[in-house]
Structures are given as structure tokens and as C-alpha cells.
Chain A
Amino acid sequence: MNDVDYRRPSSVAEAIRLGAEPGAAYVAGGTNLIDLMKGHVALPTRLVDVNRLPLAAVTTRPEGGIRIGAMVRNSDLANHPIVRERYPLLAQALVAGASPQLRNMATVGGNLLQRTRCHYFYDADIAACNKRSPGSGCAALEGRNRIHAILGASEACVATHPSDMCVALAALRADVVVQGAGGERRIAMARFHRLPGDAPERDTELAPGELITAVELPPSPFAARSHYLKVRDRASYAFALVSVAAALDIRDGSVRDAALALGGVAHKPWRVVAAEEALVGRPLDDATIAAATERALAGARPLRENAFKVELARRAIARALQTAGGVA
């Protein structure tokens, strides 16, 4: 790891002022940033420690949603009584990720900003990585790509977003609140993470120096029927091959509202609104699920080693919806 300057601001304003300078990076839990720094993938010259900023509260909002401070630890968020009661999908997704030790340090903000999963991206000795080094090529495209994307990828980058929390936040239609030199703005979860396109070096829509201060969730009708299914190569402490966040509001035998997002398949949490719409107004039967699945996986393009993910995703969506709907 390179030597760095270290600052510990006590106010958001001071943090943003420090974070605006070139070479600065915010450090919260550090569970991704320090890993990247050790691998010389991230090369900040200054660390702005935001752990002491007053951003660690979970509060209810007047219209029934919640506001989650960016500094709330993953474990605390999963265990928060309001989240357990009203957003169990989020709790289940959180505890599916990483390990207890990592969840105790990782923050909501940091989890949103964790970098994509790819053997070649994380190995700074590999020259061909458009994300690290724009224009250098993509070693994964023709390489060992069993864990890579089947949706939304481009010839420039086939990495996947590894977060479980983000899949649930996408399904729950979260908004990310950020603050920068230009003031505060909100970025919808659907837009927060980017597709690689031809500029994979940018994982998110965050502008340089902007600090995530909170995540807001609208009121959710899904508390009673939700399920986060994570399919992976071993029983725990592993990234998803495919994951599904599924949540339903069912009344009188018919779906009134649905949330569906996939993890492990794309550069961002994969939420297809049309797939959710295919469920609404219908009974939760095989045909409905198949219709939603087809829309969710439309345009899937496997790589040499990950064709199984398409079928796995198909079956995982069915399983997750059936489990959420109580018919598994």
C-alpha cells in the first residue's frame, strides 16, 4: 500500500472540503478501499476518515419510509428493529453478505461503492483491464469468466457487482442521498450504478468528491412476503453466482405490487421494471413467473464459462418468487 495523508474531519462540510481535493478518498469501514489499496488498484494520496461524522442514524420519515445514515454499519442495519420489521428483504440480503467481521465494519455508503468483482480487475499486474486502465482491453472477455456477467455487459467490461445489500436496495426502490461542493442531490438506486458501456472505469454516477450521506427507502408493502436467495459455490463467506431479491404484495390471490432484482449477473444490481410489471395483476403461478423471468433475463449473453448462469438465474428467480409468495 502506498503512503497516504490521513485526515479525520468532524463535520460533513469539512469532509467534503477535504474530499474535493485531487487524490483524496473517503474511508469508512475500509473493507473494500483498504483491500484495493493493498492491491494497488486504488491509489489515493489522502484518506478522509468519515467514521466520526454524524451519519449513523436510522430514522423514520413522515410518509412512512426510512432514512439510513451512510455510516450505519451493515450489521447494525440488518439488526435494526425498523428494518427487521418493515424491510426484512434488506436485512436478509445484508446478512447474506461477507462475514460477521466485515459486516461490523462495512457501512451503507461503502457497500454501495464497493468495486466490481473480477479476477483480472483485482490483479494490478494484469495489464488488460479497461476499468483500471481505460483502453487497455478486457482480460476477462476471453479469460476465466465463470463468475462474470450475463447481462448488461459490453466488450469493454464483463464484471459483476458483488453487493447483496445493493440488490435489495434496488428492489426496494431506494434513493441515494449525496452531498458535494455543489450541494445535496438524490440519485435513484436504478441509476446509481452504471452499466460498463465504453467507460467501465466509472462504476457509479457519483461525481468526484461527492460523499454519500444517506439512503432513503419509500414505505414498503413487502414486509410480509420477501425473500433474498443467494446461490453460491459454498455455503457461506462467498460472493453470489446468482442472487435474487424478490418481494410481493399479494391480496386476494393476485399480485398487487412486486419487486425483483438480480445480483451476480451484471455490472449493477439488475432490476427490470417490466419483469415486475409482468407479475402485477396476476396470480403467482408458473406462467406468471415464467413471463417475469423472461423479461428479467431478456438480452442475456453468456460468456465462454458462464452459460450456466442463465439457467441458474431462471430457476433462482422462480424459487425466490415462490418462496416470497409462500408457495415454495
Chain B
Amino acid sequence: MSSDVVDHLGLSRRHFLQAAGAAAAVAPNGVPAQPAMRDALPLGAPSAAKTTTERIVRLRVNGADRELTIEPRVTLLDALREVLALTGTKKGCDRGQCGACTVLVDGRRINACLTLAVMHEGSEITTIEGLGTPDALHPMQAAFLSRDAFQCGYCTPGQICSAVALVGELKAQALSAATFEAAPTGAVPRTIAISDAEIRERMSGNVCRCGAYVNIVAAVRAVADGKA
């Protein structure tokens, strides 16, 4: 049994029978169940509710002071991409599982997707746009370019921000799992030797589905060795 109803926008709708049992086929056309009619939002009538949590958030991004009016739940990543139109930082998974959103906050590499913009007032935030420009490349950007350390380019800003921080971490003698693999039991080495194994491990928080890892390691190694 078919019953087409034309709604207030002039669009005809098909309605659905409320199913009694699971196995029996349910006819697609039929008289609507009342709850579905009442709950369906007519198209073109936006929610009248208002948000009350928006606040002014002051961020310092790439050396510039920016003022955003956003809800606290806006992540640093979405603040950069959707509000500040700094789309160089990428959203790959939005759950801290790929590293595409890596930015530098007070010089440290973090995933911008798992932190809120409001939590970083007072910090120096550096994104890929702040590292260099097409006419004035950061040495790490130049190294990635010359060694073809990217293909589709989507993970690349995160890789480069990560790599820049990595060089600093190595200089500061920060540890990695690779350090322990190379070290005797229980004794943490005083100085960490730069090696491909160290760079691979330290760059493992940046997934590259194009598989440019070999060239990424070469680029990072060149900069870390001072031979870029």
C-alpha cells in the first residue's frame, strides 16, 4: 500500500511501515509511524538552539597573535584548519593515530588533533606554514624536496614538523626505543649516536601510506648530520 505525502516544501516523501517482526519483509511504502513524522526535521529549518560556551581564545601562531571566538571543544587542529584557514596541517585520522596533524608547540612536536585550542593560550605554535615558504624553504623542507621524501604530500607537513623537532631532541640527547636496542642492559648511554635506526623509530609517529620512508629517513639524516 502506497501513500505519498507532499510536505510543506513541495517535496514528496515516501514513508515506512513500523516493523512488527524481523523476518517478514517490510513494504517500503506505507503510512508513517507518528513518531517518525513528528521527529523528522523539515529541511531548511535550522536548529533554534544557541550555544553558550563560545569564548575568546588567544593563540600565537607562526609569530602572529590571533584571536578566535570558539567553543572549548574545538581542537587545535580544527582551529588551525577551519578557523584560521591554515590548512597546511592535515587531518588524517583525528585520533592521534597517524601524526599528519603534527605541529610544534613551544618547540615540541605534538598531535594537534588530540588537544584543544583553548589549552594553548600563551604557547608559541608553529605550523608548516611558519617553517618556510616556497621561496624561502626551511632546510628540512629543502631536504625533503631534494630527496623526494614525499609523494602525495598529505602527511608531509606533519613529517617535516616532526623531523624538525627530532633534530632538536637528538641534540638534547632524548631517548628512544632504538637507543635501548643499541645499548647494554640497564645502562642508558650517555650520548646517543645518530643512526638510521634511531631516525626510523623517532619518525614512526608519522604514518606515510605512500611509503616514502626510505627517502624520509635520508632527508632527516642529512639534516641531522649537518649535511643537508
Contacts and interface: CB of A to CB of B under 8 A. Distances in A.
B77 to A, nearest CB: 11
Contacts of A287: none
Q: Determine chain A's interface SS by DSSP, over half rule.
A: mixed
A230 B201 CA distance: 14
A194 B206 CA distance: 33
B124 interface: no
Contacts of A38: 94-95
Interface stretch (A96-104, A123-131, A264-272): A96-104
Given A3-B51, A34-B114, A96-B177, A51 B119 contact: yes
Interface string A74-92: 0100110000110011011
Interface string B138-177: 0000000000000000000000001001100100111111
A326 B183 CA distance: 12
A31 interface: yes
Contacts of A252: none
A121 interface: no
Given A1-B73, A224-B187, A101 B116 contact: no
B221 interface: no
Contacts of B99: 99, 101
Nearest to B57: A6
A86 B42 CA distance: 66
A84 B111 contact: no
Given A3-B71, A38-B95, A102-B96, A226 B186 contact: yes
Q: Which of B99, B109, B185, B206 has the most chain A CB atoms inside 10 A of its CB?
A: B185
Given A2-B73, A95-B175, A101 B162 contact: yes
Interface in A121-171: none
Contacts of A222: 186
B217 interface: no
Interface in A224-253: 224-228, 230, 235-237, 247
Given A1-B73, A100-B202, A104-B110, A30 B187 contact: no
Interface size class of B (residues with CB under 8 A): 35 or more
Contacts of A2: 73
A3 B53 contact: yes
A85 B71 contact: no
Contacts of B116: 6, 27, 30, 34, 47
B195 interface: no
Contacts of A204: none
Contact of B175 (A6, A78, A226, A324): A78
A63 interface: no
B205 interface: yes
B62 interface: no
Determine the interface band of chain A, counting residues with CB < 8 A from chain B: 35 or more
Interface in A25-43: 27, 29-31, 34-35, 37-39
Contact of B186 (A3, A37, A225): A225
A99 B161 CA distance: 14
Interface in B68-116: 71-73, 75, 94-96, 99, 102, 108-111, 114-116
Residue of A99, A104, A225 with most chain B CB atoms under a 10 A cut-off:
A99
B205 A237 contact: yes
A79 B172 CA distance: 9
Nearest to B176: A95
Nearest to A235: B204
Contacts of A230: 177
B182 interface: no
A88 B73 contact: no
B185 A323 contact: yes
B72 A100 contact: no
Q: Which of B53, B94, B119, B184 has the most A CB atoms < 10 Å from its CB?
A: B119
A320 to B, nearest CB: 10
5 contacts: A2-B73, A95-B179, A100-B169, A101-B111, A102-B205
Interface of A: 1-6, 27, 29-31, 34-35, 37-39, 47, 49, 51, 75, 78-79, 84-85, 88-89, 91-92, 95-96, 98-102, 104-105, 222-228, 230, 235-237, 247, 323-326
Given A29-B115, A102-B96, A247-B186, 6 more contacts: A30-B119, A47-B116, A49-B118, A79-B173, A91-B175, A101-B109
